[in-house]
Amino acid sequence: MTDCGCEKAKAELEEYLHNELCREDVADITEHMKSCDDCSAEAEVGRVLMQAIQRACQEKAPADLRSHVLERIREVQSSH
């Protein structure tokens, strides 16, 4: 393991957060973040954002709102 540096850590942050990197790259970035407050903070913002998006994707609109929106979409589509 080596300290990969901020450039690599930030360039591969999204893949890192989504567990899409090989073990070696994960280990390098993890090691870097132990000693880099800036990269660690950026990773934490990414984690919080991912969690918020996941929660938002699980929520559903109330049935009456959904019906109203779909009805409005049909109206707009039929007028074009």
The full set of domains in the chain, from first to last, is: 6-78 (1.10.10)
Going by C-beta distance under 8 Å and a sequence separation of 6 or more, which residues neighbour residue 41?
none
> DSSP string of 3-34?
---HHHHHHTHHHHHTT-S-HHHHHHHHHHHH
State pLDDT tens for residues 52-77: 998 888 878 899 999 999 999 999 99
Going by C-beta distance under 8 Å and a sequence separation of 6 or more, which residues neighbour residue 46?
13, 14, 17
Distance CA 44, CA 63 (A): 35
* Tokens standing for residue 77: 């589509």
pTM for the full model?
0.64
pLDDT level of residue 79 (50, 70, 90 thresholds): confident
State pLDDT tens for residues 7-42: 999 999 999 999 999 999 999 999 999 999 999 999
Show the CA angle centred on residue 76, arms to residues 74 and 80, nearest 5°: 115
